[in-house]
Amino acid sequence: MSPRIVLITGANAGIGFATAKFISHACKDFHVIIASRSLDKAQQALNDINSDNLSTIQLDVTNQSSIQQAAAQVDQQFGRLDVLINNAGIMSRDDDIKTRMQANMDVNVVGPAVVADAFRPLLLRSQNPYSIYVSSGLGSLTDAADPTSPTYNSFSNVEAYRASKAALNMLMIQEYAFFGTKGLKTFALDPGLVRTDIRGTSEEARTGGGAAQDPEVPAQAIFDIIQGQRDADVGLFVHKDGVCPW
């Protein structure tokens, strides 16, 4: 039996790296493709994980040619894709609102949309395809409009990031609406507050003031999804313990 093929964008660090490591170590029935803008960083991630069911590919989510070439390479090498994890993302808090809006939208919305479009034909060749978008609880419109929510008054210059994750959730909804009937199982995942560099490289930023969890926590949640344990929640915005409000 051939392994299930998984591609993770932005897999050289953070949640993407933790997910590649978790899946490749937890189950040899998967082959994980570490996709990264930098092939050198992808290779370093592969070396650090040290598993025989990994490969690398160059993929820049802001470069359509790079995305198309990566899809063609996966097609040529494997002929299909079983799991696409749209993980690559940024949190730009630039002082200029136009700059931070464009940066967040380009990487967090336009990029995943183009990636999903390029790889969807390969997903639809799978007998059990999954498309997962790594979103954020900050993208919940329900929580953003609720004065009692802890994210109602979020930190400064984060509206662009929040808008981008809300838009990403809409991409997932639309993908499921159009392709769920063809067997594509789509999810948006809130990974929670995670210890990564997305908020900055200082210890305070990385750890969320000590409140952040290890990236292995959302990695486990993603693994549960692709193992079919969350199929009852297909088409929804989920977290490790349940479903998030839109």
**In the block, which residue shows the tokens 């990403």?**
168
Active site includes 133? no
Active site includes 165? yes
How many other C-beta atoms can be found within 10 angstroms of the C-beta atom of residue 210?
8
Strand partners, 194: 213
How many other C-beta atoms can be found within 10 angstroms of the C-beta atom of residue 214?
12
Of the candidates 33, 99, 107, the one whose C-alpha atom is nearest the C-alpha of residue 63 is 107
Per annotation, catalytic residue among 21, 161, 176, 185: 161
Count Cα atoms within 13 angstroms, Cβ side, for 98: 0
Per annotation, catalytic residue among 21, 41, 165, 185: 165
Residues 6+ apart with CB under 8 A from 34: 8, 11, 12, 16, 17, 20, 42, 45, 46, 49, 54, 55, 56, 57
Gyration radius (Cα) of the chain, Å: 17
* Rounded-to-integer distance, Cα 89 and Cα 162, Å: 12
- Catalytic residue ranges: 161, 165
